[in-house]
């Protein structure tokens, strides 16, 4: 592993793109590790991994036959963020209106009321929000009459009559 060059007196507050690119390329080439970089420059591993993710996305875009311009990339990111915000908003509305649900009927009622207000939310999402196992939501219990073997019942009753102390201590 190659050592990073850094003057101890020099304190970097903000990294320029060229420096970030060099650090990320060193990591990609295996010259240094994320841990070494984070210790050397007093950064979190999350910050460095963000740089690496940005670099991957940038490389992917540049290697396309028709690279997207910056505006298109931002529009794509905005679209993704709006989808996340919409999902969180739905969850927030459901949790504010309904403190908790315990059963299938209550979850169905919540979904129906939210649909009437113009919000579409799945049963799976509602089950997750209210801590209900989805399998139990769809489970239908079947009450069956117990099967009794009349011949065995007759033999057991005969033995009890013959030996009334069986089963007692």
- Rounded to 5°, the CA angle 69-71-73 comes to 75
| Each residue's pLDDT tens digit, 84-137 | 998 888 888 888 777 766 777 788 888 888 888 888 888 888 888 888 787 777
Burial (CB count <10 Å: 0-12, 13-18, 19+), residue 101? buried
Q: Kindly state the average pLDDT of the residues 60-70.
A: 75
How does residue 7 score in pLDDT terms, banded at 50, 70 and 90? low
* Distances 79 to 27, 82, 100, 122, 140 between C-alpha atoms, Å: 31, 5, 31, 21, 40
Q: Which residues, including other chains, have CB under 8 Å from residue 20's CB and lie 6 or more apart?
A: 51
Q: What percent of the chain has pLDDT over 90?
A: 15
Arithmetic mean of pLDDT over the chain: 81
Task: Check residue 124 and give its pLDDT.
Answer: 85
Whole-model pTM over 0.85: no
């Amino acid at each position: 592993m190659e050592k990073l060059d850094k003057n101890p007196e020099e304190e970097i507050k903000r990294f320029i793109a060229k420096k970030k690119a060099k650090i990320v390329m060193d990591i990609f080439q295996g010259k240094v590790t994320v841990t070494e970089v984070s210790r050397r420059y007093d950064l979190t591993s999350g910050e460095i991994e963000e740089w690496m993710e940005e670099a991957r996305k940038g490389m992917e875009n540049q290697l396309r036959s028709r690279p997207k311009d910056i505006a298109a990339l931002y529009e794509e990111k905005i679209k993704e963020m709006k989808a996340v915000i919409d999902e969180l908003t739905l969850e927030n509305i459901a949790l504010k209106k309904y403190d908790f649900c315990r059963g299938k009927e209550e979850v169905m009622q919540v979904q129906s009321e939210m649909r009437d207000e113009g919000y579409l939310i799945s049963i799976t999402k509602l089950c997750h929000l209210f801590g209900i196992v989805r399998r139990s939501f769809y489970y239908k219990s079947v009450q069956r009459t117990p099967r009794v073997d009349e011949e065995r019942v007759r033999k057991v009753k005969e033995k009890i009559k013959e030996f009334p102390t069986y089963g007692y201590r």
